[in-house]
């Protein structure tokens, strides 16, 4: 599959349904571990998010994914021989998800590049803690893909003091910037083995998280 807008479209086609179903699963897990009094968790003022509180995405602004890391940084980290081209690729109908492609020419990999995606909680009304529990659930449950009978397994990684989940087979890394913003980093670099990809991802995520903290203010 080309690593371009078609790839992004396939990622986003079932975005709402996939996350809603996943939230239902998480709510079942969460309910077993927490108070079952039935009281609905209330939303909070955005200023409270400094302490790790969840905020209704309607009160949040998702920064540009292209502003999280520079083309020069990506070129250096992935050791690209040609210049990295940056292309923002957002859905104007959904301002709670921002995506950016960083692409370069590589004879060994057609459409070589990475995708950086930032999103807020897509199922906030049903499950406010979705973002903070997403990584843990990836590690436990994996991720299903079309045509697969068994889920892709995810492993733990650590970068910028944050725990995340990744699948080398899918070339995807997930982590939470905080309780309200979730990130995905996807690779299309066939020259990378697993160690190379993890090392590159950790360096990229270090830069992304630094810029995220500078750009997101509550």
**One digit per residue, pLDDT tens: the chain, 218 residues?**
456 655 555 555 444 444 444 444 444 444 444 443 333 333 334 434 444 789 999 999 999 999 999 999 999 999 999 999 999 999 988 999 999 999 999 998 999 999 999 999 999 999 999 999 999 999 999 998 888 889 999 999 999 999 999 999 999 999 999 999 999 999 999 999 999 999 999 999 999 999 999 999 88
Q: What is the pLDDT of residue 177?
A: 94
Instruction: Report the distance separating Cα 60 and Cα 82, nearest Å.
Output: 36
Q: CA 159 to CA 123: how far, in whole Å?
A: 26
Question: β-strands 113-120, 97-103: how paired?
Answer: antiparallel
Please state the domain extents for the chain. 5-18+58-215
Is the CA virtual torsion 61, 66, 72, 78 positive or negative? positive
Closest C-alpha to 174, from 120, 134, 127, 124: 134
Give the tokens for residue 58.
């309607």
Per DSSP, the three-state class of 63 is coil
Residues 183/175, Cβ–Cβ less than 8 Å: yes
Interior angle at CA 74, CA 78 and CA 3, nearest 5: 80
pLDDT at 44: 39
The per-residue pLDDT for 41 is 33
Q: How far is CA 86 from the centre of its chain?
A: 18
User: Taking Cα atoms as reference points, which of 204, 65, 40, 64 lies closest to residue 124?
Assistant: 40
**Contact in structure between 66 and 100 (CB atoms under 8 Å):** yes
What digits encode the pLDDT tens for the residues 90-124?
998 899 999 999 999 999 899 999 999 999 999 99
């Amino acid at each position: 599959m080309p690593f371009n807008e078609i790839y992004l479209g396939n990622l986003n086609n079932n975005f709402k349904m996939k996350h809603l179903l996943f939230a239902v699963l998480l709510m079942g897990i969460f309910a077993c571990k927490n108070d079952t009094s039935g009281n609905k968790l209330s939303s909070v003022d955005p200023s409270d998010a400094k302490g790790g509180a969840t905020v209704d995405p309607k009160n949040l602004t998702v920064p540009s994914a292209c502003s999280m890391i520079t083309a020069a940084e990506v070129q250096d980290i992935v050791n690209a021989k040609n210049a990295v081209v940056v292309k923002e690729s957002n859905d104007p109908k959904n301002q709670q998800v921002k995506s950016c492609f960083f692409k370069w020419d590589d004879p060994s990999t057609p459409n070589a590049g990475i995708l950086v995606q930032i999103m807020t909680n897509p199922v906030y009304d049903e499950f406010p803690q979705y973002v903070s529990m997403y990584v843990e659930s990836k590690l436990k449950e994996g991720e299903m893909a079309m045509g697969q009978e068994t889920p892709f397994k995810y492993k733990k990684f650590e970068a910028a003091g944050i725990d995340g989940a990744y699948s080398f087979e899918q070339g995807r890394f997930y982590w939470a910037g905080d309780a309200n913003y979730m990130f995905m980093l996807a690779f299309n670099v066939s020259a990378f083995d697993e160690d190379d990809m993890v090392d590159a991802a950790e360096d990229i995520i270090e830069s992304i998280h630094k810029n995220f903290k500078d750009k997101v203010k509550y």
